[in-house]
A and B are shown apart, each in its own frame.
Chain A
Amino acid sequence: MAFSEVTRERARQIIARYPEGRSRSALLPLLHLVQSEQGYVSPEGIAFCAEVLDITKAQVGAVATFYTMYKRKPTGDYLVSVCTNTMCGVLGGDKAFEALRDYLGVDHDETSSDGKITLEHAECLAACDYAPVMTVNYEFFDQITEDSALTLVKQLQNGERPQPTRGTRLCTLKEMAVQLAGFADDRGDDVIADGPAGEPTLAGNRLAERFGIAVPGFDPETPITKKAEEAPKPTETLPKAASDGKPAGDGPLPQKKEEAKP
């Protein structure tokens, strides 16, 4: 097998992190590890994971094909993920994605011919407050526009490494995969911890404060309780859940026949 001794040694370290008999749990980091060497999870990478964990290739394949972070085709140095989920989509994410698609001549989950950029549209990246967002190798670029997205990608193609809006400076996707496999970030001092919540994040709070909107009786200091203890009794005024006393699936009316498209 073509995997380097470095990778093999790292695999041993990863497996050693898990209690005896539970080595299967090491599969997720191991998949990142093989990706860090080959840029994607190749059939060979799957076989490697199966071999070191002593599980079947089907079991590895099942996991590798479930998570979208594991790529199944060779990738470029930079994975450009544009959020096209609802919030970002309407705020310009869709447009930015299209612009990149036209410029690079590749579609979702494809790599540009120069081998530098892999483009994908992503589901919600959990940064709706900075929408529209995109990430490069999972580092955030906030409030993008078509133009800023294009400029960014061109810079990447030119070998520049623009600074993400938050987080640290960029590394390659393979280097990122090493970190995702659980090995220390060697970007040293450049690593910037997430600062305090930014203005867009707090915008909702501020509006609520200004207009005196609050959840009735909600104490922000409330400790998080276990399910059993908590379970607030639904008050009579709350609308009943659909399944309460009503047959499940009793949702919208059936589609009318004439609306049906052939």
Chain B
Amino acid sequence: MTDVVPKVDTVKLTIDGIEVEAPKGALVIRAAEQIGISIPRFCDHPLLAPAGACRQCLVDVEGQRKPVASCTQPVAEGMVVRTQMTSEVAKKAQEGIMEFLLINHPLDCPVCDKGGECPLQNQAMSNGQSESRFVEHKREYPKPLPISTQVLLDRERCVLCQRCTRFSDEIAGDKFIDLMERSSNEQIGVFRGNPESPEDDAPFNSYYSGNTIQICPVGALTSAQYRFRARPFDLVSTPNACEHCAAGCDQRADHRRGKVMRRLAGDDAAVNEEWNCDKGRFAFQYTQATDRLTKPLVRDRKTGELREASWPEALTVAAAGLAAAKDNGGVGVLTGGRLTVEDAFAYSKFARVALGTNDIDFRARPLSGEETEFLGSSVAGRVDVTYADIERAGAVVFVGLEPEEECPIIFLRARKTYLKRGLASYAVAPFVSRGFEKLGATVILTTPGAEAEVLGESEQLREALSADGAILFVGERLASVEGGLSTAARIAEETGAKLAWVPRRAGDRGAVEAGALPTLLPGGRPVYDPAARSEVAAAWQLDAGVLPSASGRDTDAIIAAAKAGQLGALLVGGVDPADLADPQAAEQALDAVGFVVSLELRLSVVAKRADVVLPIAPAVEKTGSYVNWEGRVRPFGTVLKTAAMSDARVLDALGRELGLELGVGDVAAARTQLAALAELPLPGTAEAGTALRGSVRVAVPTVAAGAAAAPTSGQAVLASWHHLLDNGSLQDGDGHLAGTARTPVARISKSTAADLGVADGDAVTVGTGRGAITLPALVTDMVDGVVWVPTNSPGSTLRRTLGVAEGALVEISTGGTKS
């Protein structure tokens, strides 16, 4: 799609004697930046509305009696501006303001986290006076004040620029911090009520709160996780892509002495702008977990226990076991959704070439055959929707996706557009979540299972989707709704709306492109298509007939086959059985199958059951790329150079052990191979891919819309999604982050609550034949006969405890003891 660059009206003005042409309405401070003149500032932030709160940016404007704040002053034709570079007035004004701002500032830079990267420190040096005339005692406050478990406030350092309060209001929509008190006591604060009942306090529990630490231009807001742990000048910074979700945020990892000390949001205008979510920022300590694997493990024949082994031994044992299993039932490959696209490609190739199977699936969650088709027809190779499209969309519709919880950057873009021009959002969901509320979304309250029906029949949605540039976002959860994805594809086609599939994990989309699916080869090529197979065979220099032609089994089928003793072995990447539709079945499968090879970071449930465990590198210790929900490649380099190997390198070595030269061990080589098959602009691959050349695309699924289950008395339909911050294993090790997670509750409607005889806060038990979850009730405006609980939060491990997915019928009762 070619973007038509709209013509901008411009005006001419002079800044420091230099003529500048700036867009009409631009701010003087931005116009000055255009010609490389930097005016000192604190409150000004290009992504926040002008505030003029700190007065540091004063400049001299001809014809104005007093110096003018350049961050609030729009340019005008013929305006003559003099900054501190050419005007004594401006220079003196700025020095005066700086002196004011420093009256109460403690100048404790030597013990402040911000010291060394502090705009106040820097600008006091560049635009302030070396001597202060103030000799009075400075204001003191008890410090630090935790405004949440992860953000600490040192009030005496604050210059009241209000970047943090403006961010939480304008960007995140979480106005939990504000300017409290007045006059010389004015201070940033959260609501604190009675000291005796701290549970009534309202801390800064925003999913985006870490951004305020990053944009604080002084050291007033610091990170509990990072406080006093390093100095900026001792850190080595590496650009990095976030490994947590499909948003694809650009990030920066700062490390020192072999450890990542902190992560910051990167600046990518096309994706995350300058923000990220707290999970991306703070959840990185999992790589230092005590159960991190660094050496291969092999199950000892005599003791039956796992013991450390050398790489050659482990690879030999693994190769032998896989080779034996290949001819004896075959090997199923479960890769998980956390892989880089290069690693996913390695699994894809390894499965086909080394194991001769299409039994490979990246999906570690409830899934469906309909979804498998949909991924081929409507996801692989498609780059139809971008973040920028949200800003242009006539309307957006979310089905099976709660954007704030499941893809926080989509939420930020939608909210930005909602605030800017009232973007109309619609959602098909069981209740109006906080995210939907902040988007002003029209929510069609729907019982899980009935989404397809609603989407297919709602005139309101059809109309919305017919709007110019409308986008239909479907989440991975829609896979478990019969006919959900078929209906989405059909409605998008009929209305002309763009369709975007948003998975939850960073590696999901890349795995689709790399062909880590039972029916798709790299580049979205259908396994069943001979032309597709011969293209891939040619690229991989394989003889005809080497590539398996039968469609493989998906995750559920692989597990069922393994459980039934039909598979010889399982090769498992980073998969947690607890994420699967039926964790019990998965564990039984692991027990039943003759041979398990686990490529793992930590001694996981799978690794513990494996015959050979091969340790692999976490994202920070390898180079690779994620493909985000847009289909955009997010390459990143190695942050920490360690001996740890990527999945691809391990698979390459395993391949060699089997006598094969897969050539995927080296990232550059893997990229070249992948780029030859898929349209992915991977770094270092100048050639655009040849995706789908001469090959057919999988047909769009046409499954009819199913109906929601009908609960009888004492039953409810289960609704659920993951909280952004939950029990996810990549969040292990950071208590500060966990402290800001939303409290797990069981949401039920008023009438459901009345039937049960419970009120807010009373215990509600949700159970199946397998187990039960007890959570405090939260009476919510939602569909009757439905209970919503978080998927994987403390006290609510849905799949492990209940063994069911969304849309299932569950028993619901009052109270009960916690199982």
Give A residues with C-beta under 8 Å from B.
42-44, 46-47, 55-62, 65-68, 241, 243-250, 254-255, 260-262
Contact = CB atoms under 8 A, between A and B. Distances in A.
A57 B180 contact: no
B180 A243 contact: no
Interface string B75-109: 00000000000001101110110010000000000
Dominant SS among interface residues on chain A: loop
A44 B2 CA distance: 56
A252 to B, nearest CB: 10
A61 B204 CA distance: 14
A249 B93 contact: yes
Contacts of B191: 43, 46, 56-58, 60-61
B202 A56 contact: yes
B92 A247 contact: yes
11 contacts: A43-B194, A56-B191, A57-B191, A58-B202, A62-B189, A65-B181, A66-B182, A241-B65, A243-B65, A255-B135, A260-B135
A93 B176 CA distance: 41
A68 B190 CA distance: 19
Contacts of A61: 178, 180, 189, 191-192
B24 interface: no
A255 B93 contact: no
A250 B190 contact: no
Given A58-B189, A255-B133, A247 B88 contact: yes
B66 A248 contact: yes
B809 to A, nearest CB: 34
A66 B185 CA distance: 10
Given A56-B191, A57-B191, A248 B67 contact: yes
Given A243-B66, A255-B133, A59 B92 contact: no
A65 B182 contact: yes
A47 to B, nearest CB: 7
A75 B93 CA distance: 45
- 9 smallest beta-carbon distances between A and B, as pairs: A43-B193, A249-B96, A247-B92, A57-B191, A62-B178, A248-B93, A260-B135, A243-B66, A58-B178
A225 B175 CA distance: 40
Contacts of A246: 89
Given A56-B176, A58-B175, A247 B89 contact: yes
B65 A244 contact: yes
A246 B91 CA distance: 11
B180 A65 contact: yes
B200 interface: yes
A245 B62 CA distance: 10
A262 B137 CA distance: 8
B171 to A, nearest CB: 15
Interface in B348-380: none
A249 B95 contact: yes
A85 to B, nearest CB: 15
Given A46-B191, A60-B191, A67-B182, 19 more contacts: A56-B178, A57-B191, A58-B190, A58-B191, A62-B178, A66-B181, A241-B66, A243-B65, A246-B89, A247-B91, A247-B92, A247-B93, A248-B58, A248-B66, A248-B67, A249-B96, A260-B135, A261-B135, A262-B135
Contacts of A261: 135
Contacts of B200: 43, 47
Contacts of A250: 92
Contact of A58 (B93, B133, B176, B194): B176
B177 interface: yes
Contacts of A68: 182
A250 B89 CA distance: 10
Contacts of B96: 248-249
B212 to A, nearest CB: 13
Contacts of B95: 249
B179 interface: yes
Contacts, number: 83
A250 B96 CA distance: 9
A216 B480 CA distance: 84
Nearest to B133: A254
A46 B176 contact: no
Contacts of A59: 175, 178
A245 B65 CA distance: 8
Nearest to A45: B193
A68 B194 CA distance: 20
Contacts of B176: 56, 58
B179 A62 contact: yes
A248 B93 CA distance: 5
A155 B88 CA distance: 63
A44 B67 CA distance: 45
A157 B179 CA distance: 38
A65 B183 CA distance: 11
B193 A47 contact: yes
A44 B196 CA distance: 13
Contacts of A56: 174-176, 178, 191, 202
Interface in B185-235: 189-194, 197, 200, 202
A249 B194 contact: no
Contacts of B189: 58, 61-62
A58 B135 contact: no
Nearest to A257: B135
Contacts of B194: 42-43
Contacts of B180: 61-62, 65-66
Nearest to B202: A57
A244 B89 CA distance: 10
A249 B129 CA distance: 13
A237 to B, nearest CB: 18
A47 B194 CA distance: 11
Nearest to B200: A43
Nearest to A240: B65
A244 B176 CA distance: 42
A29 to B, nearest CB: 19
Contact of A55 (B88, B175, B177): B175
B218 to A, nearest CB: 20
Nearest to B88: A247
Nearest to A255: B133
A262 B92 CA distance: 27
A248 B182 contact: no
Contact of A243 (B67, B177, B192, B193): B67
Contacts of A260: 135
Contacts of A47: 193, 200
Interface in B133-187: 133, 135, 174-182
A243 B175 CA distance: 38
Nearest to B186: A66
Nearest to A259: B135
A249 B93 CA distance: 6
Nearest to A44: B193
A56 B193 CA distance: 13
A68 B197 CA distance: 25
A55 B89 CA distance: 43
Nearest to B182: A66
B422 to A, nearest CB: 12
Nearest to A43: B193
Nearest to A245: B89
Interface centre among B89, B95, B96 (most CB of A within 10 A): B89
A26 to B, nearest CB: 17
A65 B58 CA distance: 30
B92 A248 contact: yes
B187 to A, nearest CB: 9
